[in-house]
Structure 1
Amino acid sequence: MVYVESTSPPKVSSLAKRIHGWSWQAFPIGMGTGAVYVTLSGLKAHSSALTTVETVFYFLNMSLFLLNTITLFVQAIVYPRQAWRLLNDPVKGIFVPLVVLSFATILIGTINYAVPPGHIMPEYIYGLFWVYVGFACLTCFPMLMIWFNKPHDLTHFTPAYAFLIFPMMLVGVVAFNVLKTISATDTRAVGVLVVGYFFQGVGFFMTFFYLCIYVIRIMTTGFLDGHQANGAFVACGPPGFTALALLKLGEHARNILPAHQLISPTAGEIWYATSVLAAIMLYGLAVFFFVFGILPYWFKLHKHLNEILGCWALTFPNVGWISTTRALGDVFNIKGFFYIHLVMAILMCATWTILFILTVTAFWKGLIFCSKDEDVLKDIIVDADEHEQVLHESKARTMV
């Protein structure tokens, strides 16, 4: 009797393929969810029912954040080669700092929905602010070292590369939200204000250099196409969020600087006035980049469901200039700004709904966050061989 050895590869469970295929590109989903309640929270007409809707999105965002962090942590333990591969990938690696941005949206949501009812004490928010600043620095600088250690082709440049700086740029936005919970007469307010301006300057000017390269790139190659077409909306983020941060930090500076008798008696008003002027100009730049991205978008985008994750760039980068629209309405008392903000908030909710349905569909079909059997097996076999080699060397040293 002849026995034929089976050559079929071993089966890999669907859970193993999901864990192995998970990536840092999952965090934009949570950030897009956070973009919904951040945008809705700025509506002029605000009811208790709307606050309830925002709170639901807030808890959904936290759930997505925990899901992503836990899955990536398990991946780092079970498949360390894949985890290291994602960190060093020139494309997927730029999404690593988005874990910090997701934390920022949760922190802002906590200030809006947990502090007013008394569930979280304001003292904890001050501590979380410094946690965020440290988290941003400890994430951005190592990833910048990894990314800049390799050459990059400028003909494939995308504004999404600026994600490496985004966490530091958002310190100003987090700062003005934290200042809502601190009295202007408190000495801690001065530190939060200065740090907010400092990192907002670092983040904006560094990302501005990226935007200059982006303009040069589309001058030489034309509009971004395929999955990179989504990256055009990332260009709205730096000027939009900086405009918002300048407006709001300037408002707080009006009270904080005089309260502590800093610089001059009129320093607060001067800071506020210059912040409004700079914010208007940056707001114009953000709107320009939005229009510049939306006009060719549908014709340049590849309508492939496996590229749906990139489409989440339609949400969170636009929050900055949309929220600035509402803030400018308050500054100049122009109702038109409030109507524009309302329309954009509705469009933001509609975009989130469409993207969420498409993302769930892509996940269900295994088009995203799912590795092939051979990729999982390859990492398992390599890790097993390395483990066996270590044991063999350990035994050899023991015998000697």
Structure 2
Amino acid sequence: MGTGIMSQLLYTFPYPISGLEQLGWAFWWLNIVLFTLFTGMQLAQIVIFPKEALLMLHDPTQSLFVGAIPMGFATIVNGIVFFCVPRFGSPAVEAAWVTFWIDTGLSLISGWLVPYYMFVYHRHRMETMTSVWFFPMVPGVVTALSAAIVAKVVDSGRATQLLFTGYVLWGMTIPIAFIVIAIFFQRLMLHNLPAKESLVSCLLPMGPFGASSGALLSLGMVAMDVFNERTTPRADAALLSFGHSAAGVGLVAGLIFWGFGVWWLPMTASLLCSHWGSLPFNMGWWAFIFPMGIYCAATDTLAKLTGLQFFQVMGAMLTVAIFLGWVCIMGMTVVRAWQGHLFRAYSPSQPMVKVHAGSPEPSARNGTNGV
């Protein structure tokens, strides 16, 4: 996820710098290697230890990260459009079209399956809540953003399908995500900050803020291209009006959702800085990269649409900061993984049970929380 969004930010950097596109192309291939490696490891676990793999869905922490799979795959889909379509033409367009629908299916599975397990099998408490709760729902809006990106390189018929699919995915995702963010806000007010091990999760809401903004901005541009005076018959006045309205509403709503991040980012940064010396490094630190990367991508889109220097400067500054963060976190990840201090295998020791009101907490809670 973090490596994939980094490739996109390098490609869309608001100022022309020689070599950035090639660097983004290299990051995209690194992203494919990492995604293939870890997905292969997960599939191997499912094949070799099917019962243990199923029990992971019953773990109230590890199951939430199922959403990372479609979000990571979405960055590969976007990279096909950015890097492969200019190089390979029609075959790359077809690849982007097919992989988008695969990613859509993965997003729907995450958005429905994991909340079902949260409702039926998991036991959660307000005082232990983190913003990771909305992680299974967020892939839908990331896929909606991919719909707008893929729509720019396909024919108008397919673009129309992608456009409406993108809006539906946005509607399935963002309202639920903001409900969870509101609950998380209440949790911070009533029970103070999360444990230091999960404090970096406070930065995760930047993802929905940026993705909701970027998706509406990009889908609005697609609607304007698909339904205009040149492509839409005069008899279809409603669709013609929709194209203009979607672009205008997308810009206004995109600015509003971007504004959510303007409040959340300084607040979270101050919280993290006040505890920086005592924060233990773990895989949760990658929460710095992808949510901020999505927010930065929305900033770049605002810069493109408005032409305002403010958004261009903000986009450039965020890209540089995220790149430096990626280098530091990747370096620490490699070192800690080599030392054997980062990953732990999941090894449940008790059978899974359904959770009902008043029942004891399920044994899945006792599983390790390593990623």
TM > 0.5: yes
Match for residue 214 of structure 1?
A: 184
Q: 1:69 to 1:300 in 2, by over 3 A?
A: same
Query: Following TM superposition, by how much is the alpha carbon of 1:45 offset from its aligned partner in structure 2, in angstroms?
Result: 2.4
Match of 1:339 in 2: 313
Indicate the larger mover: 34-43 or 254-263: 254-263
Name the amino acid aligned to 1:148. F
Deviation readout 1:46-67 (Å, 9 max, x if unpaired)? 3451111111111111111111
Partner SS, residue 89 of structure 1: coil
For the 8 Å contact 2:204–2:291, the answer to whether it is kept is yes
CA 1:264–1:93: 2 relative to 1, 3 Å: closer
Residue 200 of structure 2 corresponds to residue 230 of structure 1:
yes
* Of 177, 192, 213, the match for 1:243: 213
Match of 1:397 in 2: none
Give the aligned residue type for 2:151: L
Give the alignment of 1:383-394 within 5 angstroms. none
Alignment partner, residue 91 of structure 1: 61
Q: Deviations over 1:52-100 (max 9, x none)?
A: 1111111111111111111112222333343233221101110112111
Distance 2:242 2:45 in 1: 51
- What's the Cα RMSD here? 2.1
Match of 1:311 in 2: 285
- Residue 73 of structure 2 corresponds to residue 103 of structure 1: yes
Counterpart Cα distance in 2 of 1:303 and 1:72: 32
**Any conservation in 2 of the 1:246–1:276 contact (CA below 8 Å)?**
yes
List aligned pairs for 1:42-57, cutoff 5 A.
42-57=12-27
> Does the 8 Å contact 1:308/1:355 carry over to 2?
no
Query: In 2, are the aligned partners of 1:255 and 1:268 still within 8 Å (CA)?
Result: yes
Given candidates 87, 100, 112, the residue that maps to 1:129 is: 100
Identify the residue that residue 202 of structure 1 maps to in structure 2. Answer: 172
Partner residue of 1:144 out of 109, 115, 118:
115
Counterpart of 1:327 in structure 2 is 301
Tell me the distance in 2 between the aligned counterparts of 1:326 and 1:356: 24
Relative to the length of structure 2, the TM-score reads 0.87
1:169 corresponds to which of 96, 116, 141: 141
Change (3 A) 1:330 1:304: closer
Partner of 2:253: 278
Determine if contact 1:122/1:182 at 8 Å carries over to the other structure. yes
C-alpha distance in 2 between matches for 1:76 and 1:172: 29
Determine helix, strand or coil for the equivalent of 1:88: coil
Change (3 A) 1:121 1:60: closer
Distance 1:147 1:302 in 2: 33
Q: Tell me which of 358, 365, 373 is aligned to 2:332.
A: 358
The Cα shift of 1:344 comes to: 0.8
C-alpha offsets along residues 346-368 of structure 1, whole Å, 9 cap, x if unaligned? 11110001001111111111112
> Shift of residue 242 of structure 1?
0.7
Instruction: Report if the CA contact (8 A) 2:213-2:255 is conserved.
Output: yes
What are structure 2's unaligned runs of at least 5 residues? 351-371
Aligned residues: 343
Q: Which has the larger radius of gyration?
A: 1
Q: 1:182 aligns with which of 149, 154, 167?
A: 154
Give the counterpart letter for 1:51 in structure 2. E
CA distance in 2, matches of 1:292, 1:77: 44
Q: Which moved more, 1:91-100 or 1:211-220?
A: 91-100
Distance 2:60 2:336 in 1: 24
> In structure 2, how many angstroms separate the alpha carbons of the residues matched to 1:154 and 1:70?
35
Structure 1 residues 333 and 79 mapped into 2: Cα distance closer, same or farther (>3 Å)? Answer: same
Matched with 1:260 is 232
Q: Which aligned runs of 4 or more in structure 1 are off by greater than 6 angstroms? A: none
The percentage of counterpart residues that share the same residue type is: 23
Given that residues 226 and 302 in structure 1 are in contact (C-alpha distance below 8 angstroms), is that contact kept between their aligned partners in structure 2?
Answer: no
Contact 1:254–1:268 (Cα < 8 Å) also in 2: yes
| 1:334 to 1:253, Cα distance in 2 relative to 1, 3 A | same
The answer for the alignment partner of 1:297 in structure 2 is 272
Q: Distance in 2 between matches of 1:334 and 1:205?
A: 29
Q: TM-score, normalised to structure 1's length? A: 0.81
Q: Give yes or no for contact 2:196–2:279 (8 Å, CA) kept in 1.
A: no
Shift of 1:285: 0.3
Rounded Cα–Cα distance in structure 2 between residues aligned with 1:260 and 1:170? 28
2:163 is the counterpart of 1:193: yes
> Is the contact made by 2:232 and 2:240 (CA closer than 8 Å) also made in structure 1?
no
Please state whether the residue corresponding to 1:181 is helix, strand or coil: coil
Rate the CA distance shift 1:170–1:360 in 2: closer, same or farther, 3 A: same
Corresponding residue for 1:63?
33
Secondary structure of the residue aligned to 2:13 is: coil
| Matched residue, 1:154 | 126
Counterparts of 1:74 and 1:326 in 2: how far apart (Å)? Answer: 39
Do the aligned residues in 2 keep the contact of 1:227 with 1:301 (CA within 8 Å)? no
Which residue identity does 1:169 align to in structure 2? V
